[in-house]
Amino acid sequence: MAQPDNKKFFENLSGAGKAIAVLTSGGDAQGMNAAVRAVVRMGIYVGAKVYFIHEGYQGMVDGGDNIKEAKWESVSSMLQVGGTVIGSARCKEFRTREGRLKAAHNLVQRGITNLCVIGGDGSLTGANLFREEWSGLLEELVQQGLINEEAAQTYSALHIVGMVGSIDNDFCGTDMTIGTDSALHRIIEVVDAIMTTAQSHQRTFVLEVMGRHCGYLALVSALACGADWVLIPEMPPEVGWEDQMCQKLSENRAGKKRLNIIIVAEGAIDSNNKPITTDCIKDLVVRSLGFDTRVTILGHVQRGGTPSAFDRILASRMGVEAVLALLEASVDTPACVVSLCGNQAVRLPLMECVQMTQEVQKAMDEKKFEDAVRLRGRSFENNLNTYKLLAHRKPDSELPNSSFNVAVMNVGAPAAGMNAAVRSAVRVGISEGHKMFAVNDGFEGFYKGQIKEIKWGDVGGWTGQGGSILGTKRTLPAKYMDKIAEQMRIHNINALLVIGGFEAFECLLQLYEARSSYEEFCIPLCMLPATISNNVPGTDLSIGADTSLNAIVETCDRIKQSASGTKRRVFIIETMGGYCGYLASVGGLAAGADAAYIFEEPFDIRDLQSNVEHLTEKMKTSIQRGLVLRNENCNENYTTDFIYQLYSEEGRGVFDCRKNVLGHMQQGGAPSPFDRNFGTKISAKAMQWISKKLKESYRQGRVFANSEDSACLLGMRRRALVFQPVMQLKEETDFVHRIPKEQWWLKLRPLMKILAKYKTSYDVSDSGQLEHVVRNRTKELDAAI
């Protein structure tokens, strides 16, 4: 097939004759192994030699067995392991020129001129200094007679690409660092567990979370569990905060809440830059309120455990991107960092990011806290603004005076994170002065009149609940338009927020199209995508998909482990998703699958045959286990049973087979931190949009909105959150199979194949380009998450 001109395929990028070394440095973070695995496999795939440097910079200085060539099998079964398998150490010697000279000698001896460094800002700064000194170090080695002129010429340029591995998420220029999401998983697991015991005894818990001088973990975990109070270094509390906090705690208790949660970042300070400790908060609560109070310091638990699905995918994408960046680097290319901005891979000059990260600390030292928050980046700032909106209820006298009634409802199948979105909508709506109404059981409940006012306190503790508390049904409104319009009139509903999956999208279209017959639907209508299948047009991600991916990955890990110590075994696993292959493909990337069969990428018996042969070849090496995912509707004839029987027959004598249908466990469970946070933030944004539309469309004492842009879906598109008219999205949708016509994640499929040792074509036209760190954000970026 001729390849279109506008695409750039990486077959043109060869690693032949190049040597790449990968090291992990500084504090460990979950997901580092996934990054190492991706670098090794992508490097070998493009024909380069790849080396492990064990024990970080210390191993580079010591040389010897610390620098070993990596083979394809060397990184097998490390995707699900936390920490870093190749070891990490803090190295004083590398900080001296003598240490760096030894390191340079060790690299030149092996012909290594490409370094991939996975670590925090200290590790990356060290790498950049090494690169700047490189030519001088080589000259010195020539003078000392340790290398010859020819070697100095051949290896004259050192290329460096960094990936940020740090649970603190304290590195400017990147939305998420490798390890942050997993650390949030650990924190939320603990908070959820503590909440049950706190509730039993009516206790107050003060939790200290890590993060050094960065409050990201504390802030996002406070958002994700609905904490009563949070203390972070970037936003020291105002003078007199002690009384305010105690008043908030006692108000919550008076409002029938049996527990209080206070989250403290380990670097929390007051406005005089004095540390605020967990013990001083405990003493304050006991002294002022007499509440039974306990302190829990989470400590290194946050660094441990297996990486989350998000971290595995992030690290795998970044690892492949890092190899591409090294292959494309020229002598003049600055050392860069590969990272994610929204859902888009980007490359940023390493030193610009480091400089900005250091500026945050400087701003905090100088008590310029607003600057510090701005420098932390848009993701941090948006989290902080959302927290402020939701945490503290203003007294009624301070609320804006609005006479609008806004209804919120769930439609379709339940998805984890729906309740967090409802809570956020209700509280932001009340803060905007609206009267909020909850509709039970979707449009079925709507036409039956199951609509009642919902107050601030009614949604307390909802963020951590799975499923849909309001109740949800797949019923579409088309048959019941008269009754729904009547209920709209009875309750005087002026705007509607629908949270759900593909059915919710169809509902909004039906309401929009019924506007010509029913004036009641000429109101602002907004939809938030919430479905595990992630099959809604107009958005890259849906609420609930991350929780589901984690359930799939966790199960795949267990299933693979069940075969350890037995003979070679291949598992065939069926995932949900309707006709959308998102869960199978992205789950396959995160679980290290050998193949993922999906509807969007048609396959025939020859493909199945070549997959079996490929696995048979792999099993003849030291690899013991294989994993094959199949989307439930990928093909009506090649069923899970068929594929299981085919693999069993063809693999006879080499491996045996087992099959698993994961079923509804993919839909249940407590929402992941990502889904809680995503649901909370997009819902708050949707309510602000509704308020704006209500003001714009209020004329002569009533709301009237019938333009296309008053019926929108709020979705995440690459880097930003965008409101898109549902009528425009109609064109982008395949209604027969209930999927968008174009899906971004299909570009991730070649990654899974490459990492599973298949020869494939990989379009790199979408890979990151070198950009500069944005300081004064434009309006467009302000719209981002």
Do residues 341 and 540 touch, judged by C-beta distance below 8 A? Answer: no
Q: Which of 28, 62, 121, 168 is catalytic?
A: 168
Tokens describing residue 636 = 């009506």
Do residues 54 and 88 touch, judged by C-beta distance below 8 A? Answer: no
Find, among 722, 728, 709, the residue nearest to 524 by Cα: 709
Instruction: State the Cα–Cα distance between residues 143 and 121, nearest whole angstrom.
Output: 33
Using left for φ > 0, alpha for ψ between -120 and 50, and beta otherwise, residue 26 falls in left
Tokens describing residue 225 = 């569990």
Instruction: State the Cα–Cα distance between residues 23 and 58, nearest whole angstrom.
Output: 10
What are the C-alpha distances in Å from 407 to residues 223, 440, 446, 494? Answer: 23, 11, 10, 8
Instruction: State the Cα–Cα distance between residues 413 and 530, nearest whole angstrom.
Output: 9
Instruction: State the Cα–Cα distance between residues 93 and 100, nearest whole angstrom.
Output: 8
CA 298, distance to chain mean position in Å, is 22
What is the four-CA torsion angle of 134, 140, 141, 144, rounded to 10 degrees? -170
Burial of 621 by CB count in 10 Å (0-12 exposed, 13-18 middle, 19+ buried)?
Answer: exposed
Instruction: Please indicate whether residue 168 is annotated as part of the active site.
Output: yes
Q: Residue 740 forms beta bridges with which residues? A: 733
What is the four-CA torsion angle of 263, 265, 266, 267, rounded to 10 degrees? -140
Find, among 723, 700, 721, the residue nearest to 711 by Cα: 723
Find, among 578, 543, 519, the residue nearest to 703 by Cα: 519
Catalytic machinery residues = 168
